[in-house]
Structure 1
Amino acid sequence: MTVAAASSRVDELLDQLAATADLRTAETVEELVRALMAMYGEGLARLVGLLSGRSGAPLDALLGDELVAGLLVLHDLHPEDTARRIDRALAAADAASYRVDGFDPATGALRLTGRADGCGCGSAEATRARIEEALSCFAPEVGPVELSSAPREPALLQIGPRPGAR
C-alpha cells in the first residue's frame, strides 16, 4: 500500500467516524491518530539519525523504498531535496528516459520530456500513471505532470557501396 493510499483510507475512515459517532468519540479517535503519527514520526527520525553518516550508505536502501520514502516525506524527515526525490520517482516508475524540464514549487506542476515506451497505443498514459504513482510516494508535493515527447533522433545515414556493387 502506498502512503497516498493509506493516507486516503485514514481520511475516509475518520470522515466515516465523524459522520456516525458522537463528537467525543470522534475527537478521541482523531487524537489517537495524531499520537500514533507522532510516535511513528519520532521513530523514523531516530532511524534516519542512526543510519545517517554510517559507512556504506545504509540510508540509501530506505530512501529507495517507496513506502519508507513516503513516510519520511510525510513526517518531513526525508534528507533529499525535491529534485533528487523526483529522480528517484522516475527511476522507480521505469521512466528514467524522461528529463525534468521544469518544476513549479508554488503549483506543484512538473514538466517532463522524454520518449514513452511501447507502441504509442496508450503507453504515454500508462507511463504517466506509473510516474504519478511513484511521485505520490517519493515527492508528494508534485501535482500535475505534463509529458512532452522528445524529438526523434534523425536516422543514421549509412554511406557505402550499393548492394551488388564492388
Structure 2
Amino acid sequence: MSAATARETAAAPHAEEAGRRVEDVLDRLARRDDPEVSAAAEELVRVLMDYYGAGLARLAHHLERGADHGVLRAALLGDELVTGLLVLHDLHPESTAARIDRALDSVRRQHPAEVAGFDADTGVLRLRTADSGGCGCPSTSQAAQQAVEAAVCCFAPEVTEVGWETATTGPEPALLQISRRPPTAATAS
C-alpha cells in the first residue's frame, strides 16, 4: 500500500472538528495577553486558508473543464498552485526530476535552461543556461534566473538551492556598430 493510499484510507478530519481545534488554539494564544502573538496566529490561519482556498478553486476549475483524464491530469499537474499543494502533502504522482523538467518547461520559452545535475541528498540543483545573446546586462540575467528559480520552487520545493552554469557557445561575436560614417577628407568639402 502506497503512502498516498494509506492516507486516503485513514480517517479524514471532520471539518467542524478541525474548525473547533483552530479556534481553541487561537483562544489559548489570545489568553496569553500578547496581542502580537495572537495577531500573528490569526494572520497565519488567514494566509493558510487563502492558500488552500485558491488551490481548491483551481482544482474545481480544472475538474469542470477536463472531460478527458489525460487532459485533466495535464491541467492539474501543470498548475503551479495545485502542484504545490500536492507536493506539500506528498501526494504528487511525478518524481522530483519530472517536476523539475515541468518547471523548466513552464518558463523555457522566455528563459531557456537545462538541468546540469541534481543532488537529491542536499537538494542542490545545477542548471545550465546558454548565453542569451542579449545586452549582457547583469540585471537581465538575474531576472531570468529568478523567474526560473521561482518556477522550480513551485513545482519542486525539495530543491533547496540552485546553482548556475553558463554554456559556452564559442567565441564572442564581433560588435557591429551601426551609425553614420564620420566625414572623410573627400566628403568633408
Q: Secondary structure of 1:114's partner?
A: strand
User: 1:67 aligned to 77, 81, 92, which one?
Assistant: 81
Runs of 4+ in 1 over 4 A off after TM superposition: none
Give structure 1 stretches of 5+ with no counterpart: 1-16, 156-166
Change (3 A) 1:56 1:141: closer
Post-superposition shift, 1:57?
Answer: 3.8
Post-superposition shift, 1:87?
Answer: 0.9
The 5 Å alignment of 1:144-159 reads 144-153=161-170
- Higher relative CO (Cα under 8 Å, sequence separation at least 6) belongs to 1
Post-superposition shift, 1:153?
Answer: 4.5
Residue equivalent to 1:158: none
Taking every aligned residue pair, what percent have the same amino acid on both sides?
54
Residue equivalent to 2:149: 132
Post-superposition shift, 1:119?
Answer: 2.2
Aligned length: 124
Residue equivalent to 1:99: 114
TM superposition score normalised by structure 2: 0.52
Q: Which has the larger radius of gyration?
A: 2
Change (3 A) 1:125 1:96: closer
The 5 Å alignment of 1:114-133 reads 114-117=129-132, 118-122=134-138, 123-133=140-150
Contact 1:70 1:138 (C-alpha < 8 Å) held by counterparts = yes
The 5 Å alignment of 1:37-76 reads 55-76=69-90
Matched to 1:128, the amino acid is Q
Matched to 2:135, the amino acid is C
TM-align CA RMSD: 3.7
TM superposition score normalised by structure 1: 0.59
Contact 1:109 1:146 (C-alpha < 8 Å) held by counterparts = yes
Post-superposition shift, 1:75?
Answer: 1.3
Contact 1:116 1:124 (C-alpha < 8 Å) held by counterparts = no
